[in-house]
Each structure stands twice: as structure tokens, then as C-alpha cells.
Amino acid sequence: MCVNSEAFLYLVASVCFIMSLQGLSSAKTSKMGNLYGIVGMVIAIGTALMGSGISSYGFIVGGIVIGGVIGTFIAQAIQMTALPQLVAAFHSLVGLAAVFVAYAAYQAPEAYKIGTIGNIYRASLIEMTLGTIIGAITFTGSLVAFGKLQGLIKGKPLSFAGQHLLNAGLGGAIFLMAAIFVFTESHLIFWMIVALSFVLGFMLILPIGGADMPVIVSMLNSYSGWAAAGIGFTLHNNLLIITGALVGSSGAILSYIMCKGMNRSFFNVILGGFGNDDVAGPSGQKAIEDRPVKSGSAEDAAFIMAQAQNVIIVPGYGMAVAQAQHALKEMGDQLKKMGANVRYAIHPVAGRMPGHMNVLLAEANVPYEDVFELEDINNDFANCDVAFVIGANDVTNPAAKTDPTSPIFGMPILEVEKARTVLFVKRSMASGYAGVENELFFRPNTMMLFGDAKKVSEDLSKSLHNA
Amino acid sequence: MNDILKDRLRDLAETLQEAATKASEIGHAIADTATQSSTYTAGLSPFIVGLTVFVLAIFVGYYVVWKVTPALHSPLMSVTNAISSVIVIGALIAAGQDLNGTAKIAGFVAIILASINIFGGFVVTRRMLEMFDSKKKGN
């Protein structure tokens, strides 16, 4: 096949990928979008296979079959609540694949038409090195994110003195090595770049706490795109460049939306400033549990709910941990049956990845029309009878509006305190991720329902049924 | 009379010859310019061509992604994850050539990694989207 028809087919594949993202603009067209993505991928791989330079197919077919079986199996078996860690793990694979592709190009430059061994074009070396660095950082960074989301690594932010200095030093060393590599093409230097980038990926993500993972997962999503674009520059392949740019900007936009949802700058998240002792310590330790809290049983709560006309449910990460989405939906249905208007309010950073809550509610068959974003429902809390907070905490804390000294001050919150009654499902009185006490617990219109989110929802359904 | 005519004809021939030489010179010059300009386009650094595509694609991505409904942000992540594995193309070249064994192995590993992503990403996206869909039917 001639170079021009190859390029044309790659263009078709690029358009398919754009259409794929376009499809996600609404739930109706979204499945079509996924299909476009698959078609684009098939065209892309088919074109590459028919291209010049491919002489044997054994390794190719073998690799695709092995990877395809593993990937399909994992994706079928995974629980929806484990979605964030799955996505993080997938990102790490893209990063590692980018490193391997860069290494292959370095080993067989003739096959990629970027020069000969020991005499690779300088521009290609620069692009290759960039792809390697970003890929390697994405790999280990995503591994740490995976570990944190899976609970293998402590979710608490880990930080130590001189951390930023160390990272800056690592970054400088990588830059220096990259410069040397471009002129020497040395094997040793290549592996040192890879090793240092691996370390940097670890160090960058390790200090960042669990609840900041929506930003981090989005950021790594973005990195995996930039790594692909870097490889695209090396191979002079527009499809890779376009795809990399699409994915890169997608991840960047998601990170931005998540940061805005927490009213924090991107750098603030990256530098791991949240949950540090110096920030959260004072307000977190002060006056814990010396004020009266009203708590109630499932029966008490059911009694209040049975009289409610308007109920807004606010789910958070705790719902995901307890796998309470199905029990919650049943409770919601029970309320609907009793004539109440039941809606769900989703904070942008609820959960551990963008859209996490929406997927879980969808899994439990909660109607799409009942689920609302923060800005669409926030005004309605004022005339709702019951706000049912399940597994969320910081995103409902009124201190974000009233207390300028609070670490979460300025963060947009769901204004549940305006509801006539707030039912707050929580396992204990422990503070949320930000280490800030929630003012809401002590309000007279708040009733705490202590217990596991799933258990509480089930008990509520039962009590409502009997009511 | 004959002589005068001969002289005139000789003059004319000389002039024509000069003109022809000039024309051919101009022709060569044009050809040269054309060749130069064509080598100029071909010689445009592939990096610049790539950069142009890259920057424009970022803009496309920016506008398309802002339109994605927040409810579908999780599927957006998994589908972008799947399509970013299009770097498998780079791996195919390495695994399909017979020039260098190390590169072949590296390509093979990269194909496995990227394929896990491609299949896993699309399958999990489909699973998610079906959930959003089934609840529409259910109600």
C-alpha cells in the first residue's frame, strides 16, 4: 500500500476517534461512540499491518491474542466499584507500552525509518526520549494510584521534608540525561532515563491522598495521551499525534473540572498540599466530639422519610466502599412508591474518579433523569424535606462557605444544610479526607445514622416498607 | 539582394538562437525554482508538520471533550484509555520486522500491554454504557 493511502486510512481512523468522543456528549449516542472507537482502532491496526516493513506476523498475532484475552477477561470480571483502580492500572500499561515502543525504535531505527543504529536523527531522538520519560512516569505514577485506590498503599498523603526539592532534582537529572542521550545514544543513559523517570513517577504520586485521586487519575489519563503523541512524533504518524492530543486534552480538562470541584489549583493538588499536618492539623484536632450530636435509628429515620415529599440523596465514596448502590436504589424506589419525589445529587469530586457515582447509580438502575449535577440541583435543597447523605462528607461541609480558615474554604458544596432535615449516614464520627470536622453534624436539623451504608439503606427500606 | 536577404536571415537565426538560449535558461531557472520549492516542502521538517497536526488536534479535543456530559466522565476516561493504546501501531512495526531481535521482543511486549488496554478499555466502556442504557429502558 502506498504511503498516501496509508496516511488517508489513518486520517479516517482519527476521525473515528473524534466521533467516538463526540458520541459521549449524550447517553443516547454514547454506545455509538464506543463503536466508532472500535472501528477506528480496527482501521488503524489493519492499516499498520498492511503497511511496508512488516514481514512476519507470528509475534503480532500472538501478542494481540494474549493481550486481548487478558484485557477482555479483566474488563468482564471487574466490579463497578473497582472501576477507578482498573482505569489507573490501564493507564500504567499505556505508559509502559510507550516505553517499550520507544526502546524498540531505538533498537531498530531502520524499521521506523528514523536513521540507523548509532546514527538516529536528532529530532527523532528528542521525541523518543520525551515519549519514554512521559511513559515511564505514567507507568509508576499509575501504579501508585492503583495501589492507593486498591488499598494496597495507605491512602493518607505521605510527605517528608525536602520532597519537592528531591523531585526537582530528579527532574533536573532526567533532563540532563536526556540531553546526553540525544548526543550519545548510549544504552546506559537510556536505561538511566527510564529508571529515574520510574522513580519520579513514584515520588510524584506517593504524597497525594486518596480523595485527590479523581484529579490524579485524570492527570495520568492526560499523560498517557501525551506519551502516545510523543511516540507519534517519533514515528511521524499523524494518527498517533492526533489521538495523543485528544486523550491529552481530555485528561487535562477532566483534571481541571476536578480541581474546580475542590476549589484548588492543579499545582496545589500535585504538590500534595492537602491533608498535610500543617494545613489540616489545627482545625482537625480542635474540639472533637465535645458537642452533642443527634443520632437516630433506622426506624426514626424511616419515620421522618415517610412524611417527606421531596428527598434528595447525596452519595459519596462511602457508598462505593460499602457497595450500597443497589440497597440505596431500593430505598429510593420504596420512597417513590410512597409518593415522594426522589432525586440524586452528584458533586463533581464525589468518588474516586470523574463520573464514578453516576456509573454506580447507573449500575443500580437509577434512572438517568433522577441524577443531577451540583449546579442543577443545589438551589432545590432549600425546599426539600430530607437530604440523605450517604458516604459523602467534605462535599457537604458548610464550613467551605463560612469559615475562611478552613482548608476546604471556597470549595463548591452541596447545600444540604438548607434541607428541612439532614440524614447523615456515617460509620463513625471521624473527620473526612480533608481532616476537617463537619459543622453539619452538630446542626439541630441533622440526624446521624451510624452504621455501614449498605446496612443502613437496607434497614431503612425495611422500616419504610413496614411504615 | 540575395546577399542582403542572407545577411538578414543569418541575423534572424542568430537572434532566434540567442532567444532560444535565453528561453532555455529561463526554463532551467523556473525548473530550478520549482525543484527547490518542492524540495523545500518535502524538506519541511516532519516535526513542524506533526506539531501543526498536534496543536489543531488539541483544539478539537478541547471542544469535543467540554461537550461530554459529566455523567459520562467515567466512560470518557475508559474510552480515551482504550484509544490512546493506538501506540500499538508503533509496536506492530517492531514486532513485524526481522532486523533486530531485541526490538522484536520489545514490540511483542508492547503489543500485549496495549492489547490488554484496547480490549479491556472498550469492553469496560461498553459495560458502563449498557448500564446507562438499560435504566432508560427500565423506566
Catalytic residue among A212, A380, A394, A459: A394
Question: Quick check: B95 and A63 CB within 8 A?
Answer: yes
Measure Cα distances from A128 to A82, A98, A120, A160, A374 in Å: 34, 9, 10, 33, 43
Cβ atoms within 10 A of the Cβ of B9, count? 10
CA distance A15 to A202: 35
Q: Tell me which chain A residues have a C-beta less than 8 angstroms from the C-beta of B107.
A: 59, 63, 100-101, 104
Q: What confidence score (pLDDT) does residue A285 get? A: 41
DSSP state of B98: S
Q: Over the stretch B15-44, which tens digit does the pLDDT of each residue have?
A: 777 777 776 776 666 556 555 544 445 577
Least confident range of A19-23, A327-331, A399-403: A399-403
Whole-angstrom distance, CA of residue A430 vs CA of residue A440: 13
**Looking at beta carbons, which residues of chain B come within 8 Å of A25?**
64, 67-69
All residues at 6 or more sequence positions from A119 whose CB lies less than 8 Å from its CB, including other chains: none
Angle, CA A216 vertex, CA A212 and CA A220 arms, to 5°: 175
| Burial annotation A408-434 (CB, 10 A radius, 16+ → b, else e) | beebbbbbbbbbebbbbbbeeeebbbb
- The pLDDT value given to residue B1: 58
Contacts of A226 in chain B (CB under 8 A): none
Cell of A35: 463503536
- In this predicted structure, what is the pLDDT of residue A435? 65
What was the pLDDT predicted at B10? 79
Q: How far apart, in whole angstroms, are the C-alpha atoms of residue A32 and residue A21?
A: 10
- Higher-pLDDT residue of A459 and A267 is A459
- Asked if B81's CB is within 8 angstroms of A94's CB, the reply is yes
Residue A273 has pLDDT above 60, yes or no: no
Is A403 a known active-site residue?
no
What one-character-per-residue DSSP string does A66-98 give? HHHHHHHHHHHH--GGGHHHHHHHHHHHHHHHH
SS3 content of chain A, % helix, strand, coil (to 5): 65, 10, 25
CB-facing half-sphere around the CA of A321: CA atoms within 13 A: 19
Q: Is the pLDDT of residue A247 over 90?
A: yes
Contact flag B113-A94 (C-beta cutoff 8 Å): yes
The whole-number pLDDT of residue A254 equals 92
pLDDT of residue B100: 86
Strands A371-373 and A446-450: unpaired
Mean of pLDDT values over A55-81: 92
Q: In the A/B pair of chains, how many CB contacts fall below 8 A? A: 397
Residue to test with chain B: of A250, A330, A346, A357, most B Cβ within 10 A? A250
Q: What is the per-residue pLDDT for A407?
A: 75
Distance (Å, whole) CA B88 – CA A44: 9
Q: Which residue has the higher pLDDT, A362 or A161?
A: A362
Cα torsion at B82, B87, B93, B96 (round to 10°)? -30
**In the predicted structure, residue A408 carries a pLDDT above the cut 90:** no
Q: Which pLDDT score, from 0 to 100, does residue B133 have?
A: 75
Is A179 a residue whose pLDDT tops 80? Answer: yes
Enumerate the residues of chain A whose CB falls inside 8 A of the CB of residue B50.
232-233, 236, 238, 241
How far is the C-alpha of A160 from the C-alpha of A138, rounded, in Å?
22
Nearest CA in chain B to A252: B62
Going by pLDDT thresholds of 50, 70 and 90, the confidence category of residue A275 is: very low
Q: Place A245 in a pLDDT band, splitting at 50, 70 and 90.
A: very high
Lowest mean pLDDT among A297-311, A448-462, B43-57, B125-139: B125-139
pLDDT at B42: 59
Task: Give me the interface pTM, i.e. the ipTM.
Answer: 0.86
Is there a contact between B114 and A97 if contact means CB atoms under 8 Å apart? yes
CA geometry: angle A23, A28, A31, nearest 5 deg: 55
